[in-house]
């Protein structure tokens, strides 16, 4: 037997069924007309953002990283809740603009921006987080061609990473951002060009569950911003301190202590360097805001045995849930939180593998988990499915097509 990840708090049970947003899973599937189905709880997202805003210093803005979940109804909801959007492609730019967010509150990071993406961002008035000196030249040339002053920030490749993070995006040679020691010269050139100077973007990693590591990375980012601002010889209007707040996916994972992070950030702001006195700071978070609000529902289509093991075969799989299958940024496969959503009131009395319908041994949603007895027609819930699910999985692989999505 292998343990399952922790089911996030805030879901209910009605008549033995998992309830999301106060509605039974059978009812949600009937409304969608199909499985597999991602259900996102608007209430959970709203509460998560509100709780976070209560603990973070009020002067720090909150941005949503669209790549975590670009589902349009979620962007519409987020546009009421957060101060800005961070996007990472021209496609996300279109989605963010159609959600109605003020372009002056959108910033665009990501290595390898094409000319058409740079032009679209400048035309819209979105801030470009420049990833290289070459990109700065292309952005300035595009601004000249378009007759529009580009809004430019520099993404810094910090000399530190976010310790314990699932995906390290700083420290050493990286495709992201500009090495810190080259930033002051580049900042001076961007400012001298007449572009609108928007400051620094410092993103050191993702999916960290260590509270001290996040506090340390934020302090390091502020110290680096102060040093680079002084060396650039100009005031720093904005500074994106990154994010990296993780959520518990696996057995033994503990949630972050957000109150401690907020308090430490408040103290760091109090004693910030003179170069940062008038800087507007922001945090950019993706999965922390939406990850635990989503559930992936998939129906059992076969129940079979092989040697001593029981297999529950579902109509979904890694083509929608690459991360839960253990094939997206993990080294050792561990179980996500998974449950039989139509038997929430029954004792877990058998050990089963929940496998997807793809013809590959990689397609496992739960390995040797302890579940209540389940049959063909029962629904399986994979939790923590609100981020990097539908949009971060190979939906075309094996031709099953995309899952349905629903915000309730």
Ligand X SMILES: *Cc1c(COP(=O)(O)O)cnc(C)c1O
> Does residue 285 touch ligand X according to CB under 6 A?
yes
> Does residue 287 touch ligand X according to CB under 6 A?
yes
Torsion angle defined by CA atoms of residues 204, 206, 207 and 212, in that order, rounded to the nearest 10 degrees: 10
Residue 141 Cβ vs ligand X, minimum distance, rounded to whole Å: 24
Please state the φ and ψ torsions of residue 319, each to the nearest 5 degrees.
Answer: -70, -10
> Which one among 288, 296, 336, 383 touches ligand X, defined by CB under 6 A?
288
> Does residue 243 touch ligand X according to CB under 6 A?
yes
Residue 176 Cβ vs ligand X, minimum distance, rounded to whole Å: 7
Residues 372-391 that bind ligand X (CB under 6 A): 387
Map tokens 């008549």 to a residue.
15
Residue whose Cβ sits closest to ligand X: 286
The DSSP element (H or E) to which 269 belongs, if any, is helix 258-270
Contact between 280 and 32 (Cβ < 8 Å): no
The DSSP element (H or E) to which 154 belongs, if any, is strand 151-157
The DSSP element (H or E) to which 20 belongs, if any, is strand 17-20
> Which one among 6, 170, 199, 286 touches ligand X, defined by CB under 6 A?
286
C-alpha triplet 36, 290, 393: angle, nearest 5°: 45
Residue 64 Cβ vs ligand X, minimum distance, rounded to whole Å: 9
Residue 12 Cβ vs ligand X, minimum distance, rounded to whole Å: 26
Contact between 332 and 55 (Cβ < 8 Å): no
> Which one among 24, 48, 67, 320 touches ligand X, defined by CB under 6 A?
67
Q: What is the DSSP string of 34-97?
A: SSSEEEE-HHHHHHHHHHHHHHS-TTSEEEEEGGG---HHHHHHHHHH-SEEEE-SHHHHHHHH
> Which one among 200, 203, 281, 336 touches ligand X, defined by CB under 6 A?
203
> Does residue 71 touch ligand X according to CB under 6 A?
no
In terms of Cα–Cα distance, which of 27, 11, 142, 72 is closest to 405? 72
Number of residues that bind ligand X (CB under 6 A): 15
Q: Which is nearer to ligand X, 68 or 322 (CB)?
A: 68
For 27-124, strand residue ranges (E) read 37-40, 61-65, 84-87, 106-108
Residues 166-185 that bind ligand X (CB under 6 A): none
For 290-330, strand residue ranges (E) read 294-306, 309-314
> Does residue 109 touch ligand X according to CB under 6 A?
yes
Q: Which is nearer to ligand X, 206 or 279 (CB)?
A: 206
Map tokens 């990286």 to a residue.
174
> Does residue 106 touch ligand X according to CB under 6 A?
no
Residue 167 Cβ vs ligand X, minimum distance, rounded to whole Å: 7
Stretch that binds ligand X, among 29-37, 63-71, 186-194, 271-279 (CB under 6 A): 63-71
> Which one among 207, 210, 325, 335 touches ligand X, defined by CB under 6 A?
207
Residue 243 Cβ vs ligand X, minimum distance, rounded to whole Å: 5
Residue 367 Cβ vs ligand X, minimum distance, rounded to whole Å: 24
Residue 79 Cβ vs ligand X, minimum distance, rounded to whole Å: 17
In terms of Cα–Cα distance, which of 207, 217, 203 is closest to 111? 203
Q: What is the DSSP string of 97-149?
A: HHTT--GGGEEE--SS--HHHHHHHHHHTPEEEE-SHHHHHHHHHHHHHHT--
Residue 244 Cβ vs ligand X, minimum distance, rounded to whole Å: 6
Stretch that binds ligand X, among 77-85, 201-209, 325-333, 363-371 (CB under 6 A): 201-209
Binding site for ligand X (CB under 6 A): 65, 67-68, 86, 109, 203, 206-207, 243, 284-288, 387
């Amino acid at each position: 037997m292998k343990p399952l990840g922790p089911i996030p708090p805030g879901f209910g049970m009605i008549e033995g069924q998992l309830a999301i947003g106060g509605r039974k899973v059978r009812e949600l599937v009937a409304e969608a007309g199909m499985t597999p189905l991602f259900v996102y709880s608007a209430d959970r997202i709203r509460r998560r953002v509100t709780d976070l805003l209560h603990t973070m210093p009020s002067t720090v803005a909150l941005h949503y990283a669209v790549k975590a979940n670009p589902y349009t109804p979620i962007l519409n909801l987020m546009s009421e809740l957060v101060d800005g959007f961070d996007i990472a492609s021209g496609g996300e730019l279109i989605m963010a603009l159609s959600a109605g967010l003020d372009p002056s509150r959108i910033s665009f990071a990501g290595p390898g921006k094409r000319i058409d993406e740079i032009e679209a961002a400048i035309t819209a008035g979105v801030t470009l987080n420049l990833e290289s000196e070459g990109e700065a030249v292309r952005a300035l040339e595009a601004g000249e061609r378009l007759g529009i002053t580009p809004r430019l920030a520099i993404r810094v490749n910090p000399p530190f990473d976010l310790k314990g993070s699932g995906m390290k995006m700083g420290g050493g040679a990286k495709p992201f951002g500009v090495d810190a020691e080259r930033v002051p010269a580049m900042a001076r050139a961007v400012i001298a060009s007449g572009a609108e100077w928007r400051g620094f973007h410092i993103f050191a990693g993702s999916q960290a569950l260590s509270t001290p590591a996040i506090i340390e990375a934020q302090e390091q980012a502020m110290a680096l911003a102060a040093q680079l601002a002084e060396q650039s010889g100009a005031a720093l209007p904005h500074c994106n301190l990154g994010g990296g707040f993780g959520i518990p996916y696996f057995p033994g994972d503990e949630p972050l202590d957000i109150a401690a992070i907020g308090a430490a950030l408040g103290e760091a702001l109090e004693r910030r360097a003179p170069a940062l006195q008038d800087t507007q700071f922001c945090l950019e978070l993706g999965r922390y805001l939406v990850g635990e609000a989503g559930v992936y529902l998939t129906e059992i289509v076969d129940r079979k045995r092989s040697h001593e093991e029981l297999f529950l075969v579902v109509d979904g799989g890694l083509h929608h849930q690459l991360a839960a299958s253990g094939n997206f940024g993990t080294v050792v496969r561990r179980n996500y939180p998974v449950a039989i959503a139509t038997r929430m009131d029954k004792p877990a009395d058998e050990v089963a593998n929940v496998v997807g319908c793809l013809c590959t041994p990689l397609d496992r949603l739960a390995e040797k988990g302890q579940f209540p007895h389940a049959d063909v027609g029962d629904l399986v819930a994979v939790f923590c499915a609100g981020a990097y699910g539908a949009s971060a999985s190979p939906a075309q692989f094996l031709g099953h097509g995309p899952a349905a999505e629903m915000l309730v």
